[in-house]
Amino acid sequence: MASSSRSTPVLQYTPLNDIPKIREHLKATFSSGRLRPLDYRRQQLLRLVHLVEDNSARFTEAFKLDLGRHPLETTATDVNSTVADLMYLYDNFEAWTKPEKPPFNFQFWALSPVIRRVPKGIVLVIGPFNYPLISTLCFLGAAIVTGNACVVKMSELTPNIAAVVTELLPKYLDQDLFQIVNGGIPETTTALELQWDHVVFTGSSAVGRVVATAAAKHLTPTTLELGGQCPVFCDPKMDMYLTAKRLLWSKAMNSGQTCATVNHIFIPFEAQDVLAEAFVKVYSEFYPEGPEKAPISSLVTDVAFKRVKGLLEKTKGEVVCGGQLDEGRRFIAPTVLKNVAIDDIVMESELFGPILPIVPVQSVQDAIDWTNSHSHPLAVYAFTDDAKFKNYIFDNTQSGQFVVNDTGLQGAIPTLPFGGVGESGYGMIKGKYIFDTLSHLRATCESPRFLDMIMGWRFPPYTVSSAIILFPKR
């Protein structure tokens, strides 16, 4: 059971010597074909859904201990979203497993070409601290429906949540196929030294490089869900109250510790003060008694708190609202800054915290040029009702996703691919996309006996008539 104290969670790290044994045991069970029947996959997936639903109260308590997150946020962003994604897989995976005929090709129709989606083998999922259910259990669910065995490495930065999952998983799922590994850098390093059939990692670009390098030694395919400096391009003619309301909600969610949240806002100089005033109004509506008394999440570690605090101390931007700190509970109020220069310290890298800089620019092209001179973000956001403005931003930037007049909601749509480009990651997740990611698309064909009547020219001895058949005059 998860501890009731943040400082003393009951989380046992996996002995290093056990990690290779876990992989070998899962490999043997996978090879036995136990997960081949679709009925067994369906049963295991449904048990995973029950794991989340039956224990939602325990999860909300663990999230409160580890991240200071309000139960409503936990329910919406991790519990309900995880169940929704798993049920989407449950409702559709059987149809996705059916053999697929490729487009008709007159030359090769006789070979009856078919694509079959088959399991890859053993999947390693390395989860993050910020959304530790949806970014681990949904991939576990995808491994189940694709017929793969799976090891999940929970984040050690959220030990209470990891402890609950570790306790519950063997009570619900087949431990010969699905297991948890807990620990820090040594345990993760040991796991990455082994050969897997696919690795899914969610986290920072820096650690993503380490994961990709380790996987490359075994030629293991990887899916990297990273992040980046996701910009907002704000049309000066846009409704500023609506803009401020949606952006402040997004930035305050999980205290800004979200890969696809807005990093900064580009807006023409002449519209900056109007947007700042809208933020002040929305801020007072969101937190009528002040942010200190509001149910705002905490930073995950003391290191994270000190990093964000240091940014606020060094920035030359002006505080519009927020800025309150409480080191004892790792709390930093959502803080909106204005008059932030493009070379300010808060613009040097992904903020991953509750700071929201407003960056005034001379033109939208200046903002696009700055964005394109940096790593491609996970998402680009445009707030506008002008189709020309929207299309110009879309056509002149690159990102994993493009969203108009909101932020973050794209990650909840099961029928849309979710993933980055360049340093914001690679590989697609959600629904059919994660199903295909964790499947091997095995090309099959079957040559009939009569084929030699059509393709007899391929056999020696080669003759003039063979050449005429192969290279007919046009």
Contacts of 242 (CB under 8 A, 6+ apart): 405
18-226+426-442: CATH number? 3.40.605.10
Query: Nearest Cα to 161, choosing from 203, 129, 119?
Result: 129
Contact 418, 410 (CB under 8 A): yes
Contact 199, 126 (CB under 8 A): yes
Quote the tokens at residue 313.
């101390």
| β 331-332/325-326 pair status | antiparallel
User: How far apart, in whole angstroms, are the C-alpha atoms of residue 450 and residue 456?
Assistant: 10
pLDDT at 373: 97
Identify the active-site residue in 138, 150, 230, 259: 259
Quote the tokens at residue 317.
């931007």
User: How far apart, in whole angstroms, are the C-alpha atoms of residue 249 and residue 272?
Assistant: 19
225 is catalytic: yes
150 is catalytic: no
> Which residues on adjacent β-strands are paired with residue 336?
321, 356
Identify the active-site residue in 61, 73, 187, 225: 225
HEC per residue, the chain? CCCCCCCCCCCCCCCCCHHHHHHHHHHHHHHCCCCCCHHHHHHHHHHHHHHHHHCHHHHHHHHHHHHCCCHHHHHHHHHHHHHHHHHHHHHHHHHHCCCECCCCCHHHHHHCCEEEEEECCEEEEECCCCCCCCCCHHHHHHHHHCCCEEEEECCCCCHHHHHHHHHHHHHHCCCCCEEEECCCHHHHHHHHCCCCCEEEEECCHHHHHHHHHHHHCCCCCEEEECCCCCEEEECCCCCHHHHHHHHHHHHHHHHHCCCCCCCEEEEEHHHHHHHHHHHHHHHHHHCCCCHHHCCCCCCCCHHHHHHHHHHHHHCCCEEEECCCEEHHHCEECCEEEECCCCCCHHHCCCCCCCEEEEEEECCHHHHHHHHHCCCCCCEEEEECCCHHHHHHHHHCCCCCEEEECCCCHHHHCCCCCECCCHHHEECCECHHHHHHHCEEEEEECCCCCCHHHHHHHHCCCCCHHHHHHHCCCC
Contact 330, 301 (CB under 8 A): yes
Quote the tokens at residue 8.
């003393």
pLDDT tens, N- to C-terminus, the chain (474 residues): 333 334 445 799 999 999 999 999 999 999 999 999 999 999 999 999 999 999 999 999 999 999 999 999 999 999 999 999 999 999 999 999 999 999 999 889 999 999 999 999 999 999 999 999 999 999 999 999 999 999 999 999 999 999 999 999 999 999 999 999 999 999 999 999 999 999 999 999 999 999 999 999 999 999 999 999 999 999 999 999 999 999 999 999 999 999 999 999 999 999 999 999 999 999 999 999 999 999 999 999 999 999 999 999 999 999 999 999 999 999 999 999 999 999 999 999 999 999 999 999 999 999 999 999 999 999 999 999 999 999 999 999 999 999 999 999 999 999 999 999 999 999 999 999 999 999 999 999 999 999 988 888 888 888 877 776 666 666
pLDDT at 472: 67
pLDDT at 316: 98
* Angle separating helix axes 137-145 and 38-54, nearest 10 degrees: 160
pLDDT at 6: 42
User: How far apart, in whole angstroms, are the C-alpha atoms of residue 253 and residue 217?
Assistant: 38
Question: Residues of CATH 3.40.605.10 domain(s) within the chain?
Answer: 18-226+426-442
pLDDT at 132: 96
Question: Residues of CATH 3.40.309.10 domain(s) within the chain?
Answer: 231-413
The CATH fold assigned to 231-413 is Aldehyde Dehydrogenase; Chain A, domain 2 (3.40.309)
